[in-house]
Structure 1
Amino acid sequence: MYKIMLADDEGIVIDSLKFIIEKQFGSQCEIRAAKTGRQVIELAEEFQPDIAFMDIQMPGINGIEAMREIRRTNNHVVFIVMTAYDKFDYAKEAISLGVLDYLNKPVSREDILRILNKAMAKIDGERSKRSDDLKVREKLEIVVPIIENGLIQDLLFKEYFKEDIDNYKTLLGIDCDYGYMACMVFGRELVGNYMTSAVAASIQAQKSYKEIHTITDDYIKGIMGNVMSNKIPILIPCENDTLSYNERNRVVENARALCRKLADRFDMDFRIGFGSVKPLERMGESYEEANSVLIQNTSHVAHADDMPVACQYESNYPSDLEKRLFDEITLGNINEAVSISQNFFEWMEDTYGNDMDSIRLKCMEFVLWAEHLAYEKTGRMYEFKSRANYLSELMNLANLPEMKAWFVEKIKSATFWVSNKQEEQSMSAVNKAKQYIDEHYMKELTLDDVSRVVNISSYYFSKVFKEETGENFIDYLTRLRIDAAKNLLKTTNKSMKEISADVGYSDPNYFSRNFKKYTGKTPTEFQKGE
């Protein structure tokens, strides 16, 4: 359906246009008309036409001024200007306003239909684009929250590669490398620092999540995660590595106003804690701080920078370097851990080079913690006396270069444990499996039997066995049995049935088929040397 408005002070022109349009398009068009500039403006406000045939010269307000007024309330209307030949200057001005085309009076039926089809095609295109835009918007309303929550979950639980975070930032248009976390907590009422009826509040928050999200956006410009128990995590990206006093004060005041707004709307109590600014990959720490400040006080809003909950360092201490070192150890990145450990030792050397004992203590502290992380990550067997010589080794190091070499080597070793955990475990399991198969191939043996022996699921065992040996379990077992059979055929006078049973085949015919498949000969042919 197209809404068409006819604006002309001559009734015969209106009647002619209406007749031509209705005859050609029938019920596809709804037609309304006006004869003065004022009537045209009023009709356009009420009718909201898709297409408007406009005469330039009309009583009162002329067509040009009328179009300007109509454009204020109707951006999509398609104007078609009609004018007499001697008013061509007006026509040029109309075209400058974005008019689709103009017609010189008198206008032929063919010209009217031509330009009307052109206008309808334009409208159809715009409608299609608007429809596509709405579909995209609807999809984004579904997809964007999933992406946002994915980013927050990955950051909080550290289940990501750096490339994942870069992709999230690109998809969400985040240009910042820093941010801080907010923790929104809700319950029926606050008793001390404890929220009552957390389960009921969580259910209500799940049902009202969209509205909570919309209200929160007016006060905190960040990325909201999903409801987790009676909490909602919020990531607030920022450009700088710290918040100024004024910025922090504004954040707290906005959060206080938000808590009041949400409490009034949902008949629940709300609290919000803020962590300190950190690199994005350390949002888990910021979220822990946001939780901690809420636990440590009874305020509805609390900020970690107002009441520090994390370890405080002397001003020149390279805490970021320390954090990065242990992150790289945990990830098993050997080269990165070695490089950072060298940088950290050089800082100690430059800053406290005359205090050898303090440097020794710091080296011991870092090495012990690095190995602690490695034990946790790898499941290695801890032996109480495994570090018995560490203290004496350190004390016997006479100079800083020797101490640095000891320190870096220990850090490298701990990181190597983590890096090679999976490979070592896989190799150990495969070697154990191969030994078991070698000793039991003459018995009935299945993949499940062997995977039970090495205590790995049959699916994962099959995968690592193929990766480490280059052949799957059944091929390895069959090759082992055929090799044993070949030896028996050449060195004994046993019957085919006996040899078949000796290498693990209960069916001699099946044994013969497998033997020929792997050797190209039957057992008899092989035995005779054919």
Structure 2
Amino acid sequence: MYRVMLADDEGIVIDSMKFIIEKEFGGACQVEFAKTGRKVIELAESFRPDIAVIDIHMPGINGIDAIKEMKNFCTNTVFIVMSAYDKFDYAKEAIKLGVLEYITKPMEKMKVINVLKKAMAQIDSEREKRSNELMIKEKLETVEPIIENGLIYDILLQEHFEEDIESYRSILGIEENYGYMMAIVCGDSQEGNHMTNAIGSSVKISGKYQEIREGVKSFFNCKIGNVMANKIAVLIPLENDSLEYNDRTELIYRAREMAKYLRKKTDISFRVGIGGVKPLRQLSDSYKEALNALIDTTGSVAHADDLTISCNYEEDYPKALEKPLFEAVTKGDLNGTRAIADKYSDWMCQRANDGDLMSMRLKVLEFALYAEHLAYQNGGMTYHYSSRNNYLPEIMGLNTTDELKKWFIDKIENACRDIISKKEEHSNDIMKTAKDYIDNNFEKDISLDNVSRVVNVSPYYFSKIFKEENGLNFIEYLTNVRIEKAKKLLENPNLSIKEICASCGYTDPNYFSRSFKKNVGVTPTEYKEAFTVSGR
């Protein structure tokens, strides 16, 4: 259905247009008309036409001015201008207003029909576009909570790769590099620093999750996780690396209002803990701070920065380098470890050059010991109680910043290398065991699951490291082993193709022949005949 408005002060023109429209388009159009500029605007406000055919010369407000006024509230209307005068100024003004056509009177029937069809086609296109946009929006509203929960899950459990976080940021439109976490905790009521009936309340908020989600988003521009026990984790992205006092005060006020709103909407009591501002990849720390803030206070809303539960650092201390340094060590990222350790040691050298060499000695020792602690934890190494007895004498014997820097970087890098070597050693052991098993059992019906069970790692992890170590996936490697064995057996004139097929782990001779040709370039028969003819 198309709503068509006709605007002309001549009744005969309106009657003619109505006749043409009804004759050509039948019930597809609903037609209304007006004969003055003022009536056109009033009718348009109530009728909201899809198509408006307007004469320029009408009593009172002219057609051009009427269109200008209608443009304020009829944003999707297609305008067609008509006039008995073919004047360039009118046409130019109409073009500026974005009208579809400027046609002159008297109008031919086919001209009117063609122009209306063109307008209808434009309306159909816009309607389809709006429909598609609504459908996409509807799908996003279904998918977005899942994506938001995936981001928060990865951040809190730290089970992510760098590219995962970047993908989440891109999909969710997060441009900020910082943020803070809120922990929304529910219960029947608050007793001291905890909520009663946590288990029962978790069931309740699961049933009212959508209402809670909409309520939280009405107070904060945020990303929301699913219900975990009686808690919901909320991420609020932030452009800056800290909150000013006034901003923090406003944040706490909004959180209090949100808790009251949610209580009213769900008949469940809520407390809100708020963590400090962190880089996005360190927001798990902010969430821990949010939970600790609720433990350390009995208020309905608690901000970590208001409580004495966090360590403050002197102004120029490179706090931002600490966690990335030890993360790089733990991951076995030698280049990252070296780069961050170099930056951190430069800062220590600068402070030591100002006369504080002893503090550098202590910090170098502290970080070296912690890096080695991570190596013991993550590298599967054997700890020896007395293995570092010489560290303190060595440190005290270093009297220049360059010597301390070198000692520091060497120790940090060695810890990282220990993790790398142990991982490689573990991986090599897995590969050797796997290859030995394949070489000794290739004639059997073995699978990835069989071999992963033998090496005692999950099929997913085994498949991943097998491809990384060998450049081939498991099936490709097994096929190569079988084909190489088949080539050797084909050199024996006393063995049939069928016998060779069975000896190499193939139950179907046709499949064996296809696989052999794909990998060698000829069929087993052709290979056998070529070997016999050559007399090798």
User: TM-score, normalised on structure 2?
Assistant: 0.80
Contact preservation (8 Å) 1:276, 1:286: yes
Residues 298-350 of structure 1: per-residue CA shift (max 9 Å, x gap)? 11112122114222333443322222221211221112223333433343343
Shift of residue 100, structure 1, vs aligned partner: 2.4
Structure 2: state its 5+ residue gaps.
Answer: 507-523
Question: Which amino acid is 2:110 matched to?
Answer: E
Sort the Cα spacing of 1:481 and 1:435 in 2 relative to 1 into closer, same or farther, 3 A.
Answer: farther
Question: What residue is the counterpart of 1:206 in the other structure?
Answer: 206
In 2, are the aligned partners of 1:223 and 1:234 still within 8 Å (CA)?
yes
Change (3 A) 1:370 1:95: closer
Report the alpha carbon displacement of residue 72 of structure 1 after superposing the two structures with TM: 3.5
Q: How many pairs does the alignment contain? A: 508
Equivalent residues of 2:86, 2:104 under 8 A apart: no
- Matched to 2:291, the amino acid is N
Judge conservation of contact 1:83–1:91 (CA < 8 Å) in 2: no
Corresponding residue number in structure 2 for 1:504 = none
Q: Residue 465 of structure 1 contacts residue 472 of structure 1 at CA under 8 Å; is this kept in 2?
A: no
Helix, strand or coil at the partner of 1:374: helix
Q: Does the 8 Å contact 1:84/1:104 carry over to 2?
A: yes
Q: What is the correspondence of 1:20-419 to structure 2 with a 5 Å cutoff?
A: 20-85=20-85, 93-352=93-352, 358-395=359-396, 397=398, 400-419=401-420
Kept after mapping to 2: 8 A contact 1:441/1:477: no
Q: Residues 37-63 of structure 1: CA distance to partner in whole angstroms, max 9, x if unpaired?
A: 444334333322212222344445544
Work out the percentage of aligned pairs sharing the same amino acid. 49
Call closer, same or farther: CA 1:158–1:29 in 2, change over 3 Å.
Answer: same
- Structure 1, 352-361 or 180-189: larger mean CA deviation: 352-361
Shift of 1:266: 1.7
Q: Does structure 2 conserve the Cα–Cα contact (< 8 Å) formed by 1:274 and 1:303?
A: yes
Q: Quick one: distance in 1 between partners of 2:268 and 2:253?
A: 19
Residue identity opposite 1:106 in structure 2: P
> Distance in 2 between the 1:88 and 1:463 partners?
72
Look up the equivalent residue of 2:423 and give its one-letter code.
Answer: Q
Residue number in structure 2 paired with 1:500? none
| Alpha-carbon distance, 1:195 to partner | 1.5
Aligned-partner Cα distance in 1 for 2:62–2:387: 97
Q: Residue 273 of structure 1 contacts residue 301 of structure 1 at CA under 8 Å; is this kept in 2? A: yes
State whether residues 273 and 293 of structure 2, in contact with CA within 8 Å, keep that contact through their aligned partners in structure 1: yes
CA contact (8 A) 1:81 1:103 kept: yes
What is the letter of the counterpart of residue 134 of structure 1?
A: L
Q: Deviations over 1:163-188 (max 9, x none)?
A: 33333333333332222222222222
Q: Alignment partner of 1:227: what SS?
A: strand
- Larger deviation: 72-81 or 292-301? 72-81
1:70 maps to a residue whose letter is M
Q: In 2, distance between residues paired with 1:61 and 1:24?
A: 31
* Alpha-carbon distance in structure 2 between the residues aligned to 1:143 and 1:135: 12
Instruction: Supply the AA of the counterpart residue of 1:410.
Output: K
Per-residue displacement from partner, 1:248-290 (whole Å, max 9, x unpaired)? 1111112122222222222122222221122222111111111
Specify the code of the residue in structure 2 equivalent to 1:368: L
The farther-off stretch of 298-307 and 82-91 is 82-91
Q: Structure 1 residues 6-15 or 24-33, which shifts more?
A: 6-15
CA contact (8 A) 1:462 1:472 kept: no
Q: How far apart are 1:293 and its partner, in Å? A: 0.7
Query: Offset at 1:412?
Result: 0.9
Distance in 2 of aligned mates of 1:374 and 1:288: 25
Structure 1 equivalent of residue 516 of structure 2: none
Give the Å deviation of 1:400: 4.8
Contact 1:378 1:421 in 2 (8 A): yes
Instruction: Please list the CA deviations of residues 3-46 of structure 1 after superposition, one character each: whole Å capped at 9, or x if unmatched.
Output: 22223333322222111111111122222233344443343333
Counterpart amino acid of residue 189 in structure 1: S
Whether the 8 Å CA contact 2:149–2:225 is kept in 1: the answer is: yes
The CA distance in 2 between the partners of 1:268 and 1:512, in whole Å, is 67
After TM superposition, the structure 1 stretch with the greater mean CA deviation from structure 2, 191-200 or 461-470, is 461-470
Question: Distance between the aligned counterparts of 1:379 and 1:430, measured in 2?
Answer: 18
Distance in structure 1 (CA, Å) of the matches to 2:91 and 2:345:
80
Q: CA deviation at 1:355?
A: 5.7
Residues 465 and 473, structure 1, Cα contact 8 Å, conserved in 2: no
Distance of 1:249 and 1:206 partners within structure 2: 30
Q: Which residue of 1 is the match for residue 13 of structure 2? A: 13
Q: TM-score, normalised by structure 1?
A: 0.81
* Counterpart-to-counterpart distance in 2, 1:328 and 1:160: 14
Question: Displaced runs of 4+ in structure 1, greater than 6 A?
Answer: 434-438, 440-450, 477-484
1:443: Cα distance to partner? 12
Residues 288-297 or 382-391, more deviating? 382-391
Unaligned runs of 5+ in 1: 490-495, 498-506
Cα distance change of structure 1 residues 143 and 450 upon mapping to structure 2, 3 Å threshold: closer
> In the superposition, relative to structure 1, how do residues 51 and 348 fare at CA in structure 2: closer, same or farther (>3 Å)?
closer
Question: What CA deviation, in whole Å up to 9, does each residue of 1:41-93 have, x standing for no partner?
Answer: 34333322212222344445544444344333322222223333388866665
Instruction: Give me the whole-angstrom Cα distance separating, in 2, the residues matched to 1:267 and 1:67.
Output: 52
